[in-house]
Structure 1
Amino acid sequence: MSGWRLTKLTQSLAESGGISHSYYDIPVFDEPGAQIIAHRLPFTMRHPGAEDAVEIGLVGCNAAGPDNFQIIGESRAWSWQQGPMAQWIAGGPRVVWNDREDGKIVARVKDTLTGDVRTLPGQVYAIDAAGKTALSLDMTRLDALRAGYGYPGGVAPDGLSRAPADDGVWAMDIETGHRTLLLDIRRAVGFMNKHRGWRDYIKRQGLRVHYWFNHAKISPDGTRFTIKLRWRRIGRGWDDRQGVSLTCKMDGSDLRFLAPATSHVIWLDSERLYFWQRNALRLYLDSAPLGTMLHQMAPDLVTANVHMRHLDDGNLFVLDTPYNEKIDVITWDAAADVSQTIATFTGHVPKSGPFRCDLHPCPSADGKRIALTSLQDGARDVYLLDRMG
């Protein structure tokens, strides 16, 4: 017995685009863990256009079947890997998702109890735990430089500035919509250059790479954020070595270089972060000016890149084995160094590329439930793992 019960919450037609939650590092559960915010897709196996819409809906965690999707809105700003970034604000009852209005990316804030909807002037990526401040990125730049994660409709890649000083990570007040540029891309690149050496800088300059931000995440105490700075030559491939993780205060000060070649970075607490790096899962201290590696995590268990979240105070973790047709969901007890496979999903074709379906295991606030999206029955559907006892 795994100690977890698996339930398929939604039922999509095999020929449809299916139903999915947005991403694994944002709050897709409400505070009680009773509802998951998700989106219903209109098609599969092609990139969305600026006019292609998904339906935003609520999935009940104590129900199942084809009717378990309560439509509350729609979005024309979404991607295959991160959806419209639909998430709960401070546990509810308000939710937020990204949309498009008059050619610009905006955010819709909806009160799920009253039905009231407000529009914010910028897109939302991450929100602090208090529900007061959101971090925004230029998702059209992201789409132009890495399809599958951002939103279409922006400037073509060869028309983009390589390292703009007027774009980057923005803070947006959830109530007023006021936006402040915290960290511009040019500043981030200059800071990175100081810590990677002139040889690396000259190489990137010679290649005339373009830079972009992705994966903004706010620390649990709301004082700092981490951001991934990446680069590539237009039209050329890239890998995780072409990227670094930085951290910064929420007022834009105290910029720090966390680590190079990072992937799937998560705050464990307000001082430590864990992530995949090159060939291992590592725990780092957010020290200044450079991050400090504390130790490798689960060296006998994790031998390839994973999506991982902690379920409690940092002793119990859940992870998947992505980029495979058969994907396992595993819990790992860090204190005892004991792991257990709690679910297995098959049929994940394609297993890689922009149209793949990652499970993206995302825990509820109390760690007793895990939301997942799987292709196991032919279309994307939302599944739930319930912790028993």
Structure 2
Amino acid sequence: MVSFPSCHRLGDGKQHHFFGYYNKSTWDRSDRYILANRVSMMDARLTPELVSEVGYFDTQDSDRYHAVGTTTAWNWQMGCQLQWLDDAPGPQLIYNCRSGDGTGIYPGLRSAIHDIASGRTRILPLPIYVVAPNSSYALCLDYRRLYITHETIGYSEHGGPFTVPLAPGDDGIRRMDLATGESHLLVSYADLSSFHPRPSMDKAIHWVSHVEINPASNRILFLHRWTERVEDETCFLHRLITMDPDGGNMRLLECSDHPLPQLAENFDPAAVGTFDYEKSEYQISHPLWRDNEYIIVWGPHAGSIHYHLYHDADDGDVQVVGDGILTENGHMTFSPVNPRWLLSDTYPDPQTHERVLFLYDMDRKTTVPLGRFYADPGLKKENRCDLHPRWNRAGTKICIDSVHEKTARQMYVIDISGITG
């Protein structure tokens, strides 16, 4: 029988806690504080009025939760994009919120920076997607467009469904200065549709997701996606692209454009299972920087789909990771201190509804199982609870979101120092 590391729940269990995505560490740079959203319910249909508390657990004070504010700009998958400003003086965090006045580039949506030491909160004019590691700028998207194209990662708004331009020239990825709040458009959807264009783009709506900045803060990756049928994720088409922080030097690393018989008028999107899309042989998903030059991603290359490691250069170097071992999509991240260790998970097994959490040893090419966690099959795409494993800064612990206790959505910490050293 496999022995798994112990799993420690954060909080007293009286309320529900979650963080969201896998791409950011929940721990601050001292590994003392752990970011978390706190809500009163395990599940709910998201509305613009639904409130989440924003705060952190103090691991040096019996994991006591400290609320720093509230927000109505959030979803179950990504929370409110809560993240640390790693290069700011003292512990500071940033998260998305709403202004309530309907103004701004993205009406009513803002972000807030909270300084734990002073207790002060400062409001910025745009919602953020990801902050540069040097804490000087953030990249921003329109969450209303995301709610239309990929509801799971967007924010709901009254008055919908809205109609938005398919590939506008005045929207795309924006860069915002965190000191001044000034912003400008780096690349538009019109720019993307004309960059190595494909015929499948002509009548499609375009959007961007999985925007990530490398550790040196001088290179950006993102997924460019487009479709003619937003209600069916198997019709999504994907490209992995990188660019400089000024929008220049754009490079196409992968494109999974493919025939789409699902566009037939008699196709029933309801016939697609909750996790079928995540297991598509054309899916490009969950890209993340290993370092300043290499990107780990699940996706197709040269006719087969694997975990792939892409070199962000013109040499076209692409390496298969875990060939024959890592055979399905997951949320993968490298240890922040030792790239020997790749952390990831699986989507629920259709029979047991369990997800597997594991480490992959890049040197020995073996997996180390860390646990199996039940996922409520009643939770669907928009409200599901993926494990989304995240490293601490020392590479000795990981944090997950989970519903395996069946009556609660909570965060758990697993000590893996005995494995990673």
TM-score by length of 2: 0.83
Of residues 293-302 and 227-236 in structure 1, the stretch that sits farther from structure 2 once superposed is 227-236
User: Aligned pair count?
Assistant: 373
Stretch moving more, 344-353 or 53-62:
344-353
Give the conservation status (yes or no) of the 8 Å contact 1:128–1:222.
yes
Which of the residues 378, 381, 384 maps onto 2:413? 384
Query: Is residue 2:399 matched to residue 1:371?
Result: yes
2:333 is aligned to 309
CA-CA distance at 1:61 after TM superposition:
3.5
CA spacing shift, 1:47–1:212, aligned 2, 3 Å: farther
* CA shift for structure 1 position 158: 5.5
Structure 2 CA distance for aligned equivalents of residues 114 and 376 of structure 1: 37
User: SS state of the match for residue 140, structure 1?
Assistant: helix
Query: Take 2:226 and 2:43, find their aligned partners in 1: how far apart are those partners?
Result: 26
Residue matched to 2:105: none
- Counterpart in the other structure of 1:333: 361
User: Unaligned 5+ residue runs, structure 1?
Assistant: 194-199
Using the alignment, how far apart are the partners of 1:233 and 1:44 within structure 2? 33
Q: Matched residues in 1 for 2:359 and 2:230: separation?
A: 39
Aligned partner of 2:138 in structure 1 is 134
What corresponds to 1:277 in structure 2? 299
User: 152, 159, 169: which one pairs with 2:156?
Assistant: 152
Aligned to 2:180: 176
Structure 1 range deviating more: 309-318 or 245-254: 309-318
Q: What is the distance in 1 between the residues matched to 2:222 and 2:161?
A: 21
Aligned mates of 1:323, 1:293 — CA distance in 2: 32
The residue matched to 1:19 in structure 2 has which SS?
strand
Contact in 1 for aligned 2:42/2:408 (Cα 8 Å): no
Q: Deviations over 1:30-60 (max 9, x none)?
A: 0121211110124354431111110012123
Q: Deviations over 1:232-277 (max 9, x none)?
A: 2245412385111111100110011121242100111111101101
Counterparts of residues 352-363 of structure 1 (less than 5 Å):
352-363=380-391
Runs of 4+ aligned structure 1 residues displaced above 4 Å come to: 1-4, 62-65, 154-158
How far 1:168 sits from its partner (Å)? 0.9
In 2 relative to 1, CA 155–246 (structure 1 residues): closer, same or farther, beyond 3 Å?
A: farther
One-letter identity of the residue aligned with 2:190 = R
Does the 8 Å CA contact 1:144/1:154 hold for their aligned counterparts? Answer: no
Structure 1 window deviating more from structure 2 (235-244 vs 124-133): it is 235-244
* Structure 2 Cα separation of the partners of residues 227 and 240 of structure 1: 19
Q: Alpha carbons of 1:146 and 1:276: their partners in 2 closer, same or farther (altered >3 Å)? A: same
- Matched ranges for 1:181-330 at <5 A: 181-193=185-197, 200-201=198-199, 203-205=200-202, 208-234=203-229, 236-239=231-234, 242-261=237-256, 262-278=284-300, 279-288=305-314, 292-311=316-335, 312-324=337-349, 325-330=353-358
Residues 6 and 45 of structure 1: CA distance in aligned 2, closer, same or farther (over 3 Å): closer
Among 102, 106, 113, the alignment partner of 2:110 is: 106
Gaps of 5+ in 2: 103-107, 257-283
Which deviates the most, 53-62 or 170-179? 53-62
What SS does structure 1 have at the residue aligned with 2:194? helix
TM-score by length of structure 1 reads 0.90
Query: Aligned AA for 2:78?
Result: Q
Which structure has more relative contact order (CA 8 Å, sep 6+)? It is 1
2:77 alignment partner in structure 1: 81
Q: CA RMSD in A?
A: 2.2
Match of 2:52 among 51, 54, 72: 54
Q: How far 1:329 moved relative to its partner?
A: 1.2
Q: Secondary structure at the match of 2:167?
A: coil
Question: Identity of aligned pairs, percent?
Answer: 25
Does the aligned pair in 1 maintain the 2:229–2:235 contact within 8 Å?
Answer: no
